[in-house]
Amino acid sequence: MSALPTPKPRWPLRLARRAVSPALFDFWATRFNPLWTLEQPLARLVSRTSASRDAVTLVLRPNAHWAGIRAGQHVSVGVTIGGRRLIRSYSPTVLDDGNLAITVKAIPGGVVSQHLVRDARIGEVVSLDAAFGDMTLDEADAPLLLLAAGSGITPMRALLRDLAAQGMPGNVDLFYWARHHDEFCFTGELKALAAAHPRLRVHFLATREGDAPAARVDAMSFDTVTALHERRAVACGPAGFVEAARSRLRGTVARFDAEAFSLPAPTAVDEAGDVEVYLTRSGRTLTLSRNQSLLEGLEAQGVRPAHGCRMGICNSCACERQSGTTRHLLTGDRSSEPSTQVRLCVSAPGTDLILDL
């Protein structure tokens, strides 16, 4: 699958690594060129175009430290807004010139999405973390059934471009849901891919438009899909969509994989009261509620841990729990083994804790 090659350090960089710290090098080098760093992957915004009524596609030019990405993976993008560095995860498409394209939908109240859609200026520099995610394809993954809702189309676009570069080796059906037709992204590109590759069929499904709105995924018959039982199904969209797709296709496809870009409803647990959380690096002791994630509780107290997807996928917020018990917000499972990594975004405190923060 396509990925940018890992660049080999040139001898000046090797010499610089021996002579100065990365932080000192970056401090001075970025004053000459914002993309000059010793090790940190950065990217410059080079263009922004409308992708749909409420989404834009941003093209980013990465520096030499960007190590590449497989089609379907995600990357955490860091932006600075009001003096704060905020991180959100997106699924890029690698373009023919090596640039990265991310499509961002403006979310009401979303600080980062609103900034990228409306305020980010051409030339603005963002940080890039290492790519992550398992929604990738292997040569044996054919035939395919791709299911996308809303922003879930972005990794599907990357997968389809990769398959097209291989000549579309197997049959692929893409079902793409949105509420209205003007919310669909990449319509021209997807139609062109389908026209160029007879093995690819694309179905646009608007659920709130016309006299006969399209059926949602839980009511879709899929009777036009040949050999459904042989397909690997891949779904991406909001948590409710993913779970509805999983339920609808259970026992009818060869394999089902999915990624949701929002968290499902937490497991209902009546956890009253507060606990004390001691942070070893800062020496602070905080009082946090048992009924919210550690990440939310820490942020409410002014602590800003590293984080990315806020969905328990990228592991950016993982830290060591030195003692105490935490509860997984999605499964309700409890863990108390000492010196264990916990993901702050999907973990709530069950007892007093000591965290390596």
Same domain for 67 and 31, yes or no, is: yes
Burial of 132 (0-12, 13-18, 19+ CB in 10 A): middle
Same domain for 248 and 279, yes or no, is: no
pLDDT value of position 265 = 57
Neighbours of 221 (CB within 10 A): 8
pLDDT value of position 43 = 95
Tokens of 64: 């030499």
Return the CATH number at 16.
2.40.30.10
Output the DSSP codes for 189-224. Answer: HHHHHHHH-TTEEEEEEETTSSSSPPPPGGG---TT
pLDDT along the chain (357 residues), means of 10: 47 58 65 71 94 93 92 91 86 94 89 92 92 83 91 94 93 96 95 97 93 92 95 93 94 92 61 88 92 90 84 82 89 85 90 92
Return the CATH number at 207.
3.40.50.80
Closest to 43 measured CA to CA, from 110, 8, 95, 108: 95
Distance CA 260, CA 32 (A): 40
Return the CATH number at 324.
3.10.20.30
Does residue 299 belong to any structural domain of this protein? yes
pLDDT value of position 5 = 44
Distance CA 310, CA 261 (A): 9
pLDDT value of position 17 = 59
Same domain for 205 and 278, yes or no, is: no
Each residue of 185-241: pLDDT tens digit?
Answer: 999 999 999 999 999 999 999 999 888 899 999 999 999 999 999 999 999 998 889
Taking only Cα atoms into account, the Rg of the chain, rounded to an integer number of angstroms, comes to 22
User: 8 — alpha (psi -120 to 50), left (phi > 0) or beta?
Assistant: beta
Domain residues for the domain of 247 are 144-260
Tokens of 86: 């905020």
Same domain for 120 and 191, yes or no, is: no
Same domain for 247 and 221, yes or no, is: yes
Same domain for 21 and 120, yes or no, is: yes
Does residue 154 belong to any structural domain of this protein? yes
Q: Which helix (H) or strand (E) holds 348?
A: strand 347-349
Each residue of 310-330: pLDDT tens digit?
Answer: 777 777 888 899 999 999 887
Does residue 19 belong to any structural domain of this protein? yes
Q: How many domains does the chain have?
A: 3
In angstroms, how far apart are the furthest CA atoms of the chain? 69
pLDDT value of position 10 = 54
